[in-house]
Chain A
Amino acid sequence: MAGMGNERHLETGSLAPPPPGKDVVRVYGMKFCPYVQRLKLVLAAKGVKHETININLVRKPEWYFTKNPKGLVPTLEINGIYIYESDITSAYIDAVYPGRKLMTEDPLKKAKEQMLLGDHAKTIAFYKYACSSDPEVRKQGSETAKLGLGALEKFLKQAKTAFVCGDQPGFTDYMMWPHIERLGVFLPDLIPTFELVKKYFDDMGLDSAVKACRFSNELHIEFFNFEESFRAGEKRRLYDCGEVVEYSFPTAK
C-alpha cells in the first residue's frame, strides 16, 4: 500500500509530468492534506494501485491549473479525465474499482451517514482555529470540535456498531478519519471525553488502511509548526518534510 506518498512537491516553474500510462490512476496530492488522505484511505482500503504527484500549494506549478481549475488537491487523472474534490474522487474510485465496496447500498443508512458527515464539518472547523496563536480562539476551536464529536458519539450510540459504516470501516469512516487523526494530535484531551468516540479512535487506529496512511504525531507537529510560521509571514512551508522520493521523469526545465 502506497500510503500518503513521499514524492517531492512540484512547484512553480517545474516541468509538467508526462501523462499517466493507460489505465493508470494518478493522484495529485499534498503529503499532509487531510482531503488527499480521504482518497488515499479509500485507495488503500480497496488496494487500488496508483501513482502520486505532490503539489506545492503555496507555489503551485502553472500546469496544475489545467488539471484542476480550482487549484486544490486532491485531483484524480485517469485516461485523460480529471476529477476533483475528496468525496467525489473517493466515491468514483469506490464505484469503479474492484475490492471491498466501502459505500453502503442501503438508502436510509446512506442518508444517515451523509447527515453525520454534515455535522462532521464542525470537527473539521477546529483545524482553522487550532492554527491560531490566540488561546481564546483555540478554545473556540475546541468548543466547535466538541459539537462535531458529540454528533459522532450520538451516531455510534444509536448505530451500536464499532464503526460508522458497520463492523468494518467504510466510506464515511474514511471521510471523517483525517481530521479526527489531527484532532488526536493537536487537541489530545478532547477525544477521551467521549466514551464511544475514544473507542472508535482506537479501533480506527488498528485498521490497515488507516495505518498505511497515518503519520506520527511528531511529523504532524513538525509540518504544523512550519505551517504556523508560514501563516506568521515567514513565507516558507515545509512540504517535503520527512522522507522524500524523487520522480523517474525530469521535473526541472
Chain B
Amino acid sequence: MAGMGYGRHFATGSKAPPSPKQDVLRVYSMKFCPFAQRLKLVLAAKGVKHETVNIDLSKKPEWYLEKNPRGLVPTIEINGEIIYESDITASYVDAVYSGRKLTTQDPMKKAKELILFGDNGKTVAGFYAVITSPDNKEKQAEGYKTLNTGLEKLDKFLSEEKTTFVGGEEPGFTDYMIWPHLERLSMYVGYTFSEYPNVKKYFDNMRKDKAVQACRLPNELHEEFRASLRAKNTCYDIGIVEEYNFD
C-alpha cells in the first residue's frame, strides 16, 4: 500500500510531469493534506494501484492550475480525464475499481451517512478554527463548540446504529471521509474524545484499520510540518522524500 506518497512536492517554475500512461491512475496530492488522505484511504482500503504527484501548495506550479482551476488537492487524472474534490474523487474510485465496495447500496443507509457527513462539516470547521487561532481564547472556545456539535452527531449515530463503524462492521466510505480530521484532532490538539464514549471507542477501532495505518504519518513529522507552516516557511519535503521516475 502506497500510503500518502513520498514524492517531492512540485513547485512554481517546475516542468509539468508527463501525462500518466494508459489506464494509470494518478493522484495529485500533498503529503499532509487531510482531504487528499480521504482519497488515499479509499485507494488503500481497495488496494488500488496508483501513482502520486505531490504539489507544493504554497508555491503552486503554473501547470497545476490547468489541471484543477480551483488549485486544490486532491485531483485525479486518468486517461486524460480530470476529477477533483476529495469526496467526488473517492466516490469515483470506489465505483470504478474492483475490491471491497465501500459505499453502501442501501438508499436509506446512504441518506443517513450523507446527513452525518454533512454534520461532519462542523467537526472540520471547528478543527480549523481551533488550530488556526492558538492565541485567541475566544475563537478557540467557539471552535471547540462547533466541533463538539459535529462529534455529538457522530456519537449519536454510532449509538443508534449500534455498529462498530459508520459503514457497519468494517470501515466504509463515510468512515474514510471523516477519519483524517479526527486523526488530526488527536494529533494536533491532543483531543481525547472523552465526552463522547462512542466516538472514543470508534477512534480506537479506526486506528487499528490497515488502510488507516498505511496512510498515517508519524506525529513528529506532522509537528515539523506545522512548525514550518507557523513560521511561514512551509516545508513539505520532510521525512522520506523520493524523486520521480516517469518512464
Task: Please give the residue numbers on chain A whose beta carbons come within 8 Å of chain B beta carbons, in ascending order.
Answer: 81, 83-85, 87-89, 91-92, 95-96, 107-108, 110-112, 114-115, 118
Contact = CB atoms under 8 A, between A and B. Distances in A.
A39 to B, nearest CB: 12
Interface in B71-124: 81, 83-85, 88-89, 91-92, 95-96, 107-108, 110-112, 114-115, 118
Contacts of A108: 81, 83, 92, 96
B50 to A, nearest CB: 16
B108 A85 contact: no
Given A85-B114, A89-B111, A111-B88, 16 more contacts: A84-B115, A88-B111, A88-B114, A88-B118, A92-B108, A92-B110, A92-B111, A107-B92, A107-B96, A108-B83, A108-B92, A110-B91, A111-B83, A114-B91, A115-B84, A115-B88
A34 to B, nearest CB: 18
A88 B109 CA distance: 11
Contacts of A111: 83, 88-89, 91-92
B102 to A, nearest CB: 13
Contact of B95 (A84, A85, A107): A107
Nearest to B107: A95
9 contacts: A81-B108, A83-B112, A85-B114, A88-B111, A107-B91, A108-B92, A110-B92, A114-B91, A115-B83
B111 A118 contact: no
Tell me the dominant secondary structure on chain B's binding face. Answer: helix
Contacts of B91: 107, 110-111, 114
Top 3 closest pairs, chain A to chain B, by CB: A107-B95, A95-B107, A111-B92
A205 to B, nearest CB: 29
B123 to A, nearest CB: 16
A104 B243 CA distance: 40
B88 to A, nearest CB: 5
Q: In terms of DSSP, what is the predominant structure of the interface of chain A?
A: helix
Interface of B: 81, 83-85, 88-89, 91-92, 95-96, 107-108, 110-112, 114-115, 118
Contacts of B88: 111, 114-115, 118
B224 to A, nearest CB: 33
Nearest to B97: A107
A85 B96 contact: no
A223 B88 CA distance: 36
A89 B107 CA distance: 10
A81 B114 CA distance: 15
A118 B85 CA distance: 9
